[in-house]
Amino acid sequence: MSRTLAVFKREFASYFNSPIAYIYMTVFLGLAGWLFFKGFFLVGEASMRSFFGLLPWLFLFFVPAITMRLWAEEKKVGTMELLMTFPVTDTEAVMGKFLASFAFLLVSIGLSLVLAIVVAALGNPDPGEIFGGYVGAILIGAAFLSIGLFISSLTENQIVAFIVSVVAIFVFFILGDDFVLMGVPNWIAPVFSFLGLGAHYDSISRGVIDTRDIIYYLSVVGFFLYLNVKSIQLKR
């Protein structure tokens, strides 16, 4: 555990050792706030439903930006070989990097609570919907991170890692959407519906927190972290 924590501290600190983290959070919150309030005053309803509807699409681009460097940069500058010589197991290295990126995402999501405070000051939003929305955002964000982290381990080019991560996350996100299900055979539609990241998020973001949805997201995270560990082991 201490070695995982050491990797976590190293990676988390690296985000804030350059202005990239601050630019990321500023752009993320600025864009999220602008898109949200652009429609908020037109609707005239004290609700954050539209904000939580926007989040996965923002994550689609911002999460790969977080993960693209985690393994790709290690390979490019040659520090991955050095990391592998340390008394750190592959699982500890993967978990440390994942937890660091997850903590950074949590900070970004946490800063968006300012929007919830503004909405609460302007009206009476449903607290259950807001709570469910943030739970869903954390879970789908973790799933996106695990996918992006795994893809970053497959290449040493950060741009390639970013683009492939965006495509992969997009595919998994829309897999359970109605327009996709209408184009697949009936026998496989239930499988697509279950695998779609977006379908489970829609349920939670409405304030309906089902343990099956939580288990699903934890399973996705665990699966891609497992693939990440295997990928690192093959690199040895």
Dihedral (Cα; 226, 175, 53, 135), 10-degree rounding:
-30
Q: At a CB cut-off of 8 Å and minimum separation 6, what does 236 contact?
A: 84, 90
180 in Cβ contact with 104 (< 8 Å): no
Rg (CA), the chain: 19
DSSP per residue, the chain: -HHHHHHHHHHHHHHHTSTHHHHHHHHHHHHHHHHHHHHHHHHT----HHHHHHHHHHHHHHHHHHHHHHHHHHHHHTHHHHHHHSS--HHHHHHHHHHHHHHHHHHHHHHTHHHHHHHHHHS---HHHHHHHHHHHHHHHHHHHHHHHHHHTT-S-HHHHHHHHHHHHHHHHHTTSHHHHTTS-TTTHHHHHHH-HHHHHHHHHTT---HHHHHHHHHHHHHHHHHHHHHHHHH-
Q: Is the pTM of this model over 0.75?
A: yes
What is the full per-residue pLDDT of the chain (236 aa) written as tens digits?
A: 778 888 888 888 888 887 888 888 899 999 988 888 887 766 667 678 888 888 999 999 999 999 988 877 766 666 666 666 667 788 888 999 999 999 999 999 999 998 888 888 887 888 888 888 999 999 999 999 999 999 998 888 889 999 999 999 999 888 877 667 676 777 777 777 777 888 888 888 877 788 888 999 999 999 999 999 998 888 76
Tokens of 20: 């990239």
Q: For the chain, give every domain's residue range.
A: 2-235
CA atoms within 13 A on the CB side of 174: 11
User: Residue 135: its pLDDT value, please?
Assistant: 92
